[in-house]
Structure 1
Amino acid sequence: MNQPAARAAYVNGRIYTVDAARPWVEAILVEDGRIAEVGSSAAILAAAGDGCTVVDLAGRMVMPGIHDAHGHILLAGLKHRYECRLPADALGRDYGERLCDCIACSRGKLSGWVIGGDFNPTLSAPGEVDRKYLDEKFPDTPVYLHDYSLHHGLANSKALELAGITADTPDPFGGRIVRRAGSNEPTGELVERATWQLFNAMPSPEPDVHHAALRWALETASRFGVTGIQEASASRPELEMLQQIDREDGLTLRVYAHIPWREEHFGHATTEALDRLIEERRRFESARLKTDFVKVFMDGSPLGPHFTDAQIDPVTGQPQPGKLLHSREDLATALIAWDKAGITAKIHCTGDAAVQLVLQAMRDMRAASKEGTIQEISHCCFVQPDDLASFAELDVTAEMSPPIWFGDMPELAAFRDRGYPFGTLARMGARVTVGTDWTFLPEPNLFPALQGLLQHGAESVDLATGIEMLTLAGARAVGAEDKAGSLEPGKSADFIILDRDLFAIPVDEIGDTRVLTTVFEGHILHDVR
């Protein structure tokens, strides 16, 4: 980043500070990357003095920079810049031919493998999602396609061979090798932890590809006003690159890196290597990169056809068997150790049984350990009514991804009908944050999510509450509320200028909001005014 102007006054604006004591001001004075004063335009201009750069906001709305509570920065860069993209309506029998079109455009070939996605297996006829259609076009090149949930995938015969997956390979705990009818022969489709063996055989992309993908993702985040992000799948190469960028040029947002625990697919390393990475995490810290965070998967994906989320059976009242990935005892033991080490866990829970077990384990942790670190449940798609009060009681952050709920895919109807109780949680005093789950979405755009927060029936919230969920609540969830999340003197000068006043337009127009300017630590990173 270039050095910001030593002093800059932003005046004549509609500035929403997210500071309950002073929610609206006209102007901000920035000094050396921090907010020196807020107030009226006349007062800020008087305080600015000679030599101060003056920016006329011309009545535009300004708000704090966005905290994306759930993103996958490097994976998003690789996916959207280097992998093959299949059309949304692609059928299994066409995957090979569509990939050939991609390769002709010089995309998708990474370290000798063809990588792509995201296919929707529910669109194809039974038996049609099969490696044979990939083998026709790629008999000697390993191919792997991510499915639309990003939890499962399809490999061709060469990729299975390199991974050592055969008809004799047993299904791992928490995963399944899909097999052809009447035999043990793998179709190539791998569900959840069945992907681990393949990912451990897949070579890492070339360093220059990794670096370029990460740079692109950081620039894209700035275009959408993101000044802080919780990286939900931090790998060793990503941590090394983020630290290098921050030390050499300065990161363009704050990254709170969550290292996967016992999750080899999203961690892109063995369980043992991930354990070592958690132990060594502070080696990678820098001014804008914080690493006292881990990511845990308690269940899988709530999307069909595999439905690996852990739901409570409505008949028995018990968790569906085989869906929970950790026991209450094992998770509580880990949480107690992390609490003592000052580590925050972000725990992936898409089903209500997963949420319930994690809350039980967190109650065990609170009883045994008094350090008081903030802990977090990710996604919270479905929560049993009796479990809602535990979030505020145990000081557990409820992180949700309403952009997924906001989508128009028929597979998401259940989320729209009965998912995401963010309104009830907010009214109970729980900390609620919002994430894009980028790469699931094509862009890290949280304004459609903000509109969704206001249009969810009985679970809706008001606009001020929704904006706080996108800003200050996120900063609080990672212990950064002293430097970010609201526009107050002493905090970092992180704010965005919008193309519309969110408080003066119909709710239906909020999702179309564009960020005109992104300012981070006083630097103008993105500006289309």
Structure 2
Amino acid sequence: MAIVFTGGTIRIDGRTSDVDRLVVVDGLVAEPGHPVPEDAEHIDLEGGLLLPAFGDGHVHPLLAGRERTGPALRDATSVAEIVGRVRAWAAASDAPWLVGGSYDATIVDGGLFDARWLDAAVPDRPVVLHAWDYHTAWVNTAALRAGGVDAETPDPALGRIVRRDDGSPSGTLVERPAIELVLAHAPRPARADDVDALAAATTHLAAQGIAWAQEAWAEIDDVPTWIAAARAGRLAVDVDLALRADPTRWPAQLDDLRATADEVSGEPGLTCRTVKFFVDGILENRTAHLLECYHDARTRGLPNWRPDQLAAAVAACDAAGFDVHLHAIGDAAVRAAIDAAETIRESLRRGRRVTIAHAQVVDPADLPRLADLDITFCFQPQWAVADAVMTELTLPRLGPARERQYRMRAARDAGARLSFGSDWPVTSPDVLLGLRTAVTRQDADGQPAGGWQPDERLTLSEAIDAATSGVALQAGDQDRRGTLRPGMAADLVWLDRDIRRAPADRITDARILGTWRRGIPTFAARVSALAAVRPEQESA
């Protein structure tokens, strides 16, 4: 199978000159002088831009796909609106549990929701709603009752039950151990439903120009669903699974992780090369781990791993053949992640990959350490704006002394490698929106003028690299994907215009017309866009 692309601009890797013709043969980029097979498909780029396909270095397709079965809540602007949608959902469903999401926590002061508000809509069945961050859940009284959670229930290790003044649980559960007190009693989704969820989610990713994704939170129990989806040809993007390391089961869990990863080996379009560590939580519910107390509370957060425990676990993962993906939000968590990476310095030089995701707050003293470590910071560029989450929840927690966040420029200049991820469904997987935000650090209305913390902006070329070759390097696939050099996988995205020649705030005006994975189309904006033209229309 061969494809010839002409009629537009083709970015090879951002370092070599653009070209106006690309030949793909059997899923690989061919040498420039490669003869064109007679049966080649010819695609006119119509003056657009062809890039290496985007990657998503941190995303949750299964969670995103599951959300489609419940009510859309993200755009709800009041408790009454959410409750109304949940009431309609309950009336249309006979499911014994209603599990959905995700809602905007900023609509209630402090992000704390009451079970009684949901009781007004559904008093007789358990309801569990995930907040947009997936570190917090809002449940009704029936769900608390099903989990046996009452005033006498102690907070679990590494989690928190938010309580009313009388000690009774309010209905807000913070971090996974607390959420699981309830959710562990809910029936698991049917495998066929989850396969459908993965198909829908990965198809949506392909429509964003994405050909590879890091599933950044996979539980062992979810892996059979991923395998079933891969074998059925339902995955529209290649995916690597990052299996979650559980601090309460470590180190005994490592053998289970290795056995699970071995089960995935050889599955089409699916790998399991990575272990995921939640080093801490999030700032908005004060579970991110800080070096100094929160500005509005006498706590430094809720670390999931002691620094020495984390370092030993990362070293064990390295010895077991795993790459490592570390969720680290607070400056203490980022420091612990860098410390852990230092314990496997020699392995990093030999190709082991360590990725620190989010890196929201980094102590300035830790930036110089990045020059000597071959590690990747995977940023979520859409978060680098002064939106409602930032102004109403995050900044009040941090205070003015720690307001500098998502320091993409500083990290890159210090020596970190950069990749981009969306964290979808937390935020949209729209890569073009992420590129625009990384370059402008402005919201959709162009605010603030000049950008929020503008000295942390990237150039567009640097941002494109982070979304393409940076993600490939994070995956350890830099010799197979991420650029369009000869011999690389033909993972491609076709834009209707060259976004490099437009004002930065107009990047999102571009449309994605097509996506290819290993030379096979996975998305077409219109049928005619990928229709073959007659060979004689191809110029020599």
What is the aligned partner in structure 2 of residue 98 from structure 1? Answer: 85
1:129-169, Cα deviation, whole Å (9 max, x unpaired)? 22122223322211111123221111112211222212111
Whether 2:270 is the aligned partner of 1:283: answer no
How far apart, CA to CA, are the structure 1 residues paired with 2:122 and 2:232? 41
Residues 1:114 and 2:98 are matched in the alignment: yes
Alignment pair present for 1:231 and 2:220: no
Q: Tell me the equivalent position of 1:11.
A: 6
AA in 2 matched with 1:185? S
Residue of structure 1 in register with 2:524 after alignment: 527
Match of 2:390 in 1: 411
Instruction: Give the superposition deviation at 1:314.
Output: 7.2
Q: State the TM-score, normalizing by the size of structure 1.
A: 0.88
Q: Report the equivalent of 2:31.
A: 37
| SS at 2:189 equivalent | coil
Q: Could you tell which deviates more after superposition, 273-282 or 424-433?
A: 273-282
Give the counterpart letter for 1:34 in structure 2: L
Q: Equivalent residue for 2:291? A: 312
2:420 pairs with 1:429: no
Aligned to 1:137: 121
Following TM superposition, by how much is the alpha carbon of 1:201 offset from its aligned partner in structure 2, in angstroms? 1.7
Name the CA shift for 1:124/1:50 in 2 (closer, same or farther; >3 Å).
Answer: closer
The answer to whether structure 1 residue 186 and structure 2 residue 169 are counterparts is yes
2:308 corresponds to: 329
Q: Is the 8 A contact 2:132 2:425 kept in 1?
A: no
Aligned residue identity for 2:433: P
- Whether the aligned pair in 2 keeps the contact of 1:131 and 1:188 (CA below 8 Å) is yes
CA deviations on 1:339-391 (whole Å, 9 max, x unpaired) are 11221111111111110122122223437998651211110111111111223
Q: Report the CA distance between 1:120 and its aligned residue.
A: 3.7
Residue 360 of structure 2 is aligned to residue 381 of structure 1: yes
Partner Cα distance (1:196, 1:315) in 2: 26
1:66–1:227 CA contact under 8 A, matched in 2: yes
Separation (CA, whole Å) in 2 of partners of 1:207 and 1:54 = 40
- TM-score normalised to the size of structure 2? 0.86
Letter in 2 for 1:281: A
Unmatched runs of 5 consecutive residues or more in structure 2:
396-401, 442-453, 530-540
Give the counterpart of 2:53 among 60, 65, 74. 65
Which amino acid counterpart does residue 352 of structure 1 have in structure 2?
D
Q: Do residues 25 (structure 1) and 4 (structure 2) align? A: no
Partner of 1:348: 327
**C-alpha separation in 1, matches of 2:470 and 2:379:** 12
1:446 aligns with 2:431: yes
What's the secondary structure of 1:169's corresponding residue?
coil
**Is residue 253 from structure 1 mapped to residue 240 from structure 2 by the alignment?**
no
Which of 503, 511, 514 pairs up with 2:511? Answer: 514
Q: Which amino acid aligns with 1:474?
A: V
What root-mean-square deviation, in Å, do the aligned CA atoms of Structure 1 and Structure 2 show? Answer: 2.8
Out of 501-510 and 167-176, give the one that drifted further.
167-176
Q: Which amino acid aligns with 1:427?
A: D
In the alignment, structure 1 residue 75 sits paired with structure 2 residue 63: yes
Do the aligned partners of residues 50 and 148 (structure 1) sit closer, same or farther apart at CA in structure 2, a change above 3 Å counting?
A: closer
Cα separation, partners in 2 of 1:205 and 1:412, compared to 1, 3 Å: farther
CA distance in 2, matches of 1:470, 1:315: 33
Residues 198 and 235 of structure 2 are in contact (CA less than 8 Å); yes or no, is this contact kept in structure 1? no
Q: Give the letter for the 2:361 counterpart.
A: F
User: Aligned pair in 2 of structure 1 residues 370, 51: CA closer, same or farther (>3 Å)?
Assistant: closer
Residue range with higher mean Cα deviation, 323-332 or 113-122: 113-122
Contact (CA 8 Å) 2:242, 2:272: kept in 1 or not? yes
Match for residue 499 of structure 2? 502
Q: Judge which range, 344-353 or 116-125, deviates more.
A: 116-125
Name the counterpart of 2:369: 390
Report how many aligned residue pairs link the two structures. Answer: 503
Correspondence for 1:293 among 265, 271, 274: 274
Identify the match of residue 212 of structure 1 among 179, 196, 212: 196
SS in 2 for 1:330: helix
Q: Determine the structure 1 residue equivalent to 2:532.
A: none
Q: Is the 8 A contact 1:67 1:474 kept in 2?
A: yes
Deviation digits for residues 150-199 of structure 1, max 9, x if unmatched? 21111112211222212111112222111111x22111211113112222
1:471-510 deviations in whole A, cap 9, x for unaligned? 0111111111111100011111111110220111011111
Q: Does 1:244 align with 2:241?
A: no
Q: Residue 30 of structure 2: SS of its match in structure 1?
A: strand
Residue 3 (structure 1) aligns with: none
Asked if 1:196 is matched to 2:175, the reply is: no
% identical equivalent positions: 29
User: Which residue type is aligned with residue 62 of structure 2?
Assistant: L
Asked if structure 2 preserves the Cα contact closer than 8 Å seen for 1:403 and 1:446, the reply is no
Q: Distance in 2 between matches of 1:117 and 1:323?
A: 24
Displacement of 1:518 after TM fit?
Answer: 0.6
Q: Secondary structure at the match of 2:419?
A: strand
Distance 1:322 1:449 in 2: 28
Task: Write the letter of the residue equivalent to 2:19.
Answer: V
Contact 1:449 1:511 in 2 (8 A): no
Partner of 2:152, secondary structure, is coil
Kept in 1: contact 2:50–2:494 (CA 8 A): yes
1:94–1:133 Cα contact (<8 Å) kept: no
